Structure 1
Amino acid sequence: MSSHSKDSSSANDTPRRRLSRDERLRQLLDVSWKLISDEGTDALTLGRLAEAAGVTKPVVYDHFGTRNGLLVALYQDFDIRQTAIMDAAIEASEATLAGKADAIAAAYVDCVLTQGREIPGVLAALDGSPELTSVKRQYQRAFIEKCQKILTPFAGHQGLSSASLWAMLGAADALSHAAVAGEIDEENARSELLATILAMIDRSL
């Protein structure tokens, strides 16, 4: 047998490394996002995910339990990335109101656009589910608290009201999803959200 054959046989006989639970979860989430992008949210089932990921159905069920569990995990994955992008943008921004407000506006819109049509599909599939209501509210509150901490130093002595912060979040969602749908362009979404944030600060003075 040639040395090349021996080398090939040896390489083929090498067992594949078993993924850790966290690595497997990452793989399943990545495959899920690709399936949604290629085939739409309706095509995403636990069985279809197992097939696309090359694993058995029990592996997928062990990670997510139900289809709603998978969709919630995708929403959490999206929010974690959104938070990381925003934190990096805010850290790199100028220590001025304009700098911080622009970083918030740009990062929010950019992250939703990066996920494209996938995240609206996930949210639509989960609409009305108690799982989404709980998780979404948790992340919304975290975002509002983050913005309040960043923007309060530029506000008046009474600070920023909860109502104004919730209104800002509503505008951020509406503008970002309008940009995804092509109703407005990315720059308009960013500039309008920036104007909304600056107006909120101005009202507090």
Structure 2
Amino acid sequence: MNPATDDLPRRRLPREVRTRQLLDVAWALIGEHGTDALTLGRLAQEAGVTKPVVYDHFGSRNGLLAALYRSFDERQTVVFDDAVAAAKASLQDKARVIASSYVTCVLTQGREIPGVLAALSGSTELAAVKRQYQQSFIAKCAGILAPFAGPDGISTPAMWGMLGAADALSDAAVTGDVTPDDARAELQQTIIAMVRRHKA
């Protein structure tokens, strides 16, 4: 015990700022010790807050994992939307931007996001959260690529196949099995080939 510090009032942050701080600490904790080490108690300790504060923000460990995934997806969406808007209106360029943005975003989170995704898949409720974001990404990409395909657009199975390729190549880049540039290039060619198969 340290009376000099224990008697000091805890600094109250606005809820949104506190949530951001807790998520940042959670990402750092996962990065250093892995997803299994992430508990609400451990997060409270690392963030220098009481357990009730963490429970108030996330409710449960599953709630925390879902919030981490949402924060990852939100960052990915901003980067993705900006890159697509700046790209030239050609299939080559749009495919390049989709591929580059996806791989780069996963690399930015390093080894942390696969652990969160693995934990998400273990819960029916959290798997639904992941699926919601996957469907949103697929719909967005289908809209971006539709002008380069036939009148029927790109089939749903093909879009899921593209997402599977994006995940696999990004994971391989994270683990060092392929270079990031090779992952981006392969995904770009996969997208281009998929679109060309759906031309009239």
**TM-score between the two structures when normalised by the length of structure 2:** 0.92
Q: Indicate the residue corresponding to 1:68 in structure 2.
A: 62
Query: Which residue type is aligned with residue 95 of structure 1?
Result: A
Query: Which residue type is aligned with residue 183 of structure 1?
Result: D
Instruction: Find the structure with the greater CA-based Rg.
Output: 1
Query: Which residue type is aligned with residue 176 of structure 2?
Result: G
Shift of 1:16: 7.5
Q: Which of the residues 118, 123, 126 maps onto 1:129? A: 123
Is 1:167 aligned with 2:193? no
Shift of 1:131: 2.3
What percentage of residue pairs aligned between the two structures are identical? 65
Is 1:107 aligned with 2:101? yes
**Counterpart-to-counterpart distance in 2, 1:21 and 1:126:** 24
Shift of 1:107: 0.2
Q: Are the aligned partners of 1:86 and 1:104 in contact in 2 as well (CA < 8 Å)?
A: yes
Q: What runs of 5+ residues in structure 1 fail to find an aligned partner?
A: 1-14
Shift of 1:28: 0.3
Alignment of 1:176-195 (within 5 A): 176-195=170-189
Shift of 1:157: 2.0
RMSD in angstroms over aligned alpha carbons?
1.4
Q: Which of the residues 132, 135, 146 maps onto 1:138? A: 132
Q: Are the aligned partners of 2:138 and 2:159 in contact in 1 as well (CA < 8 Å)?
A: yes
Q: Which of the residues 56, 59, 70 maps onto 2:53? A: 59
**Counterpart-to-counterpart distance in 2, 1:21 and 1:75:** 19
Q: 1:156 to 1:140 in 2, by over 3 A?
A: same
Q: Are the aligned partners of 1:178 and 1:184 in contact in 2 as well (CA < 8 Å)?
A: yes
**TM-score between the two structures when normalised by the length of structure 1:** 0.90
Q: Are the aligned partners of 1:72 and 1:131 in contact in 2 as well (CA < 8 Å)?
A: no
Shift of 1:17: 5.7
1:69-127: per-residue Cα shift (whole Å, max 9, x none)? 11111111111111111111111111111111110000000000110000011122233
**Counterpart-to-counterpart distance in 2, 1:174 and 1:25:** 31
Shift of 1:38: 1.3
